[in-house]
Amino acid sequence: MKAANNLVVTTKIDKDVPSFINRATIAFLEDYDNYKDEIFSKKFDTIYFRSQFSSVDTMPQNFKKAINKIGSVFQQSYFIDHTKNLSEILDFEDKWRQYERFGEFMPRTWKINGDVTTDRVIYKKRLSSKTRGISFDPADIINSDEWLAQEMVDIQQELRVYTIRDHVYPVGAIKSSKHNRDAQVLIHDKRQLSRVEVGFISKIIKKCPEMDLLGLDIALTKEGPILIEVNRSPLFQKILNLGESDMAELLYKALVD
C-alpha cells in the first residue's frame, strides 16, 4: 500500500514511529486539534490506533474524543485489529478481559475482591502503564477494582514473541523478568522459537482472529510455556535492532496478501 493510504494514530513517545513514517501518515494524538481538519479531508485504506501505556499521560483514555471521532469519520477504512474506538481498545487491553479470553493458557488470576487461593501472587493493574502497573506489595493496592492478583510462576526464561495475523514470527526476543518493584524489564537477546512454542502460540492467536499484530509475553517453566500477557500495538524496535524483520513492513504486507 502507498504511504498516503495508511494512517497511524499514536503518541509522540511511540518508539516505533520510524518504522511507520515511510509507510503511513502519522497523526500524534497530542496534536489532534492542530491537524484534525486536514486529516478529515483525506481518505485512508487502513487506520491503526497504537496504544501507548508506557506513561500515564499517554494512555488512550486521555484521548477519548480524538480516538472516537477518527473512528466515526472513517467508517469505510479498514481498522487494524478491528479496533476503531476507545471502548474496543480498552476491552482488549483490560487484563481481566484477557484472562476471560485466554485463561486456559495463563497463570491463575483473580479480581482482588475475589477468593485468591494462593499466597504467591503478583499484583497487576487491569489497565496499566506497562511495568509501572505491577506490584508485589498488597499495601500498594488503593482501589481494588483496578487491580488483579496473578499467581506467580517460576520462570526459566521469558520471551516476547510477535504474531502477524495467523503467522507466528519464528524468532523471539529474550526478556528479563520483573522479580521486584525496582527491576527493569529489558530485551537483551533473541532466539529461534521451538516447534512446541510455535504450537502453543498458534493456539492462543486462534482465540483472537481479528487481531493483525500482537506481542505476546511468554514464560517458559518446567511445566511448559505459559502466557503472561497479550499486547496490542507492541513495540518492536529492540528486536529490529537485533537484526530481525520490521514488524510494520510485515504487517502491511500481510494486509495486502
Q: Sketch the domain layout of the chain as residue ranges.
A: 3-92, 104-151, 157-256
Reply yes or no on domain 157-256 having CATH 3.30.470.20: yes
3-state secondary structure the chain: CCHHHEEEEECCCCCCHHHHCCCCEEEEHHHHHHHHHHHHCCCCCEEEECCCCCCHHHCHHHHHHHHHHHHHHCCCCEEHHHCCCHHHHHHHHCHHHHHHHHHHHCCCEEECCCCCCCCCEEEEECCCCHHHHEECCHHHCCCHHHEEEEECCCCCEEEEEEEECCEECCEEEEECCCCCCCCCCCEEEEEECCHHHHHHHHHHHCCCCCCCEEEEEEEEECCEEEEEEEEECCCCHHHHHCCCCCHHHHHHHHHHC
Q: How far apart are CA 225 and CA 177, in angstroms?
A: 15
Q: Are 137 and 111 in contact (CB under 8 A)?
A: no
Q: Are 96 and 109 in contact (CB under 8 A)?
A: yes
For the chain, the residue count is 257
Residues 101-104: contacts with CB under 8 Å, at least 24 apart: 101/207, 101/208, 102/204, 102/207, 102/227, 102/230
Q: Are 174 and 220 in contact (CB under 8 A)?
A: no
Q: Are 148 and 177 in contact (CB under 8 A)?
A: no
Q: Closest by alpha carbon to 149, among 182, 116, 102, 104?
A: 116
The pLDDT profile of the chain, 257 residues, written as one tens digit per residue, is: 344 499 999 999 999 999 999 999 999 999 999 999 999 999 999 999 998 877 788 889 999 999 999 999 999 999 999 999 999 999 999 999 999 999 999 999 999 876 676 778 999 999 876 566 888 888 888 788 889 999 999 999 999 999 999 999 999 999 876 555 555 557 889 999 999 999 999 999 999 999 999 999 999 999 999 999 999 999 999 999 999 999 999 999 999 87
Structure confidence at residue 3 (pLDDT): 46
Structure confidence at residue 131 (pLDDT): 61
